[in-house]
Amino acid sequence: MKNLKKFLAILISTLLVLGMAGCSSPTDTNQPEPVEETPAETPAEEQTGMKPGKYTAAFRGYKSDVKVETEVDSEKIISVKVLEHKETDGIGTHAVERLPKIIVDSQSVKVDTISGATTTSYAIINGVKDALKQAGADMKKFELVPPAPTPKDVTLDTDVVVIGGGAAGLSAALEARRNGAEVIVVEKMDITGGNTIRSSGAFNVAGHKLQIEANKGRKDIEEFIEFTMTGGHNMNDPALVRYMIENSAGIVDWVTELGFTPEIGETYQSFTVPGYAPGLIIGLQKFFEEMGGKVMLSTKATEIIMKDGAAAGIIAEGADGGKVTINAGAVVIATGGYGANLEWIAELDPSLKGFVTNNHPGATGDGIVMAQAVGAAVRDLNEIQTHPTVHVPTATMMTEGCRNAGGILVNTSGKRFTNEVNYRDIVSEAILSQDQGFAYLIINQEIVDSNGNIQGYYDIGVLQKFDTIADLAKFMNVEESVLQETMDKWNKAVAEKNDPEFNSQFTWIRNLSKGPWYSVAVSPGIHHTMGGIVINTNTEVISTDGKVIPGLFACGEVTGGVHGGNRVGGNAILDCLVFGKTAGEKSAAYIK
């Protein structure tokens, strides 16, 4: 009986890790703990040390199996190496690069995971645990929690301090450094990237010469301004919208000048950089640090220092728990939104109680609270966007690129029910109005191949693959004939570039006539928060009495007014790049 219980404990814990890790979300919520197996029943007096050698083990990470080699002598762990993996650049790769050394230095598998890369961290930890057991280790020796570091208070001086290491913060930091300022970035998470690194990486542009030459994307600036204002229910600040879109073409030239090679997309989401969002974040941070900029990870800003009515630095909590004081001539708030603060969201909009979020765990609204504490005005906090196509069990967002490239949404009767490329809030409402409040997204191999992000959804086990319409219908639990009729109607609409059912304004890139097909059940999830700190086009923070707060700047999702009541897909990264670059320029000019 004891052996049976032992076997069941091992089997259940292993299945939980493999199953949850295989379909976990980039937000790293509800991630599996390291595998806890029943200790070997070897009497203590028989333990004579480990058998020296190299041992390998592989456990499922976020996107792939992570193969780990652990070398031991008779008493200690000598080295830990990740031999094989396909984890996400800029997320899982941080765990791959940093965690092995932490394990060796601490001689323990009870180390903290890399926040934001939890699933990959657990795969590495479990690989080391398995290797130690292969070597005959006394696991109690290697399961001691490492002592916490001694907190140390630190005081630093700089020209500009940037709070937040996402696209907006890194853009601001890089541009301020390019303009001659000494710059420090503080990021509360263990990795940079914020929500950006989990996005599709596409950003809208209007009127760039490459678009005009290729006859792709939004070529007319005024048209795109109107599109953005309409999408935001005309609640947007017109000056901010105009500034963002009039400077969008210049952002393409700016990222090119930095060293990226932007590529034109197939739709109005006009440009990406190689490597998509991870490539953008990795590149911005690399360029910044190569120019002498400093990034402080695991450092949570808690307060903005004010002197004589002007921002003069920040107080933060360091990675060791000590107080970090950074005196600065200017402060840039780029902490992102509050999409992961579900309790606050439910207070602001009770109709969203119980929704999942695809935001990263650090998106809790800290910057807004800090800004309000020094007199900043805020707006539109109750304007919270749901993304229509989220795989709820794993909180994985299915990129807009699935539908823009020709994917369709089908209800539980096997029929289309909306214009799939309408504004996000409209599509979300259409899905929620269906009988069971969800829909099936259907795409095919051509669409998967059109966007590197989409392949990733299959790799993590979210998208299911089907070779026949019959198999697809069985998965959806609908009549094959009904689904086939839906597919035939859609393929006809694509051929005629006309959707008589829902008047869709697709770019009619491809149909769904050829398999294999892929599908996933989707429903809306918390995606973007449109409200935040009030700024002007110089990214200066405005106080509650309508005046500029000297030395205080803000950019990105932490601000309000750019997107109004609903954000247009592809405008978030544009927002971060345009206003991030501006915040860098203006903060550097301010200190001079």
Give the tokens for residue 290.
Answer: 């190569």
pLDDT at 12: 36
DSSP state of 64: S
Determine the Cα–Cα distance for residues 494 and 481; give it in Å rounded to an integer.
20
Q: Residue 365 in contact with residue 195, Cβ under 8 Å?
A: no
Eight-class DSSP state of 302: E
pLDDT at position 24, please?
Answer: 31
- What pLDDT sits at residue 248? 96
pLDDT, tens digit (0-9, with 9 covering 90-100), for 50-88 = 999 999 999 999 999 999 999 999 999 999 999 999 999
Strand 464-466 versus strand 517-529 pairing type: antiparallel
Give 10-residue mean pLDDT values along the chain (592 residues).
37 36 35 49 54 97 96 97 96 97 97 95 98 97 94 98 98 98 98 94 91 79 95 98 97 96 73 91 98 98 98 97 98 98 97 96 97 98 97 94 93 97 95 95 95 88 97 97 97 94 85 97 97 98 98 98 96 98 98 92
Tokens found for residue 336? 């992102």
Distance from chain centroid for Cα 377: 27
**What does 555-586 look like in DSSP terms, one character per residue?**
-GGGEESSSTTSPPTTHHHHHHHHHHHHHHHH
Cβ atoms within 10 Å, residue 216: 17
Inter-CA distances, 14 with 18, 108, 152, Å:
6, 21, 40
Task: Give dist(CA 121, CA 114) in Å, integer.
Answer: 6
Side chain identity at 193, as an amino acid letter?
G
Per-residue pLDDT at 22: 32
Catalytic residue among 198, 218, 424, 567: 424
What's the mean per-residue pLDDT of the chain? Answer: 91
pLDDT tens digits for range 110-168: 999 999 999 999 999 999 999 999 999 999 999 999 999 999 999 999 999 999 999 99
Position 269 scores a pLDDT of: 56
Q: With residue 108 as reference, give the H or E element that holds it.
A: none
Task: Tell me what pLDDT residue 216 has.
Answer: 75
Task: Tell me how many degrees the CA angle 121-170-341 measures, rounded to the nearest 5.
Answer: 60
Which backbone phi and psi does 306 adopt, to 5 degrees?
-120, 135
How many Cα atoms within 13 Å fall on the side-chain side of residue 35? 30
Name the nearest CA neighbour of 554 among 285, 327, 304, 371. Answer: 371
pLDDT of residue 339: 98
pLDDT value, residue 559: 98
Q: What is the pLDDT of residue 508?
A: 82
Q: Given this model, what pLDDT does residue 35 score?
A: 53
Q: How many Å apart are CA 190 and CA 183, to the nearest integer? A: 19
Based on the residue annotation, tell me whether 379 is a catalytic residue of this protein.
no
Which domains occur in the chain, in start order?
2-41+48-142 (3.90.1010.20), 157-345+365-383+530-591 (3.50.50.60), 387-525 (3.90.700.10)
Take residue 203 and report the two structure tokens written for it: 């950003």
Asked if 41 contacts 116 with a C-beta cutoff of 8 angstroms, the reply is no
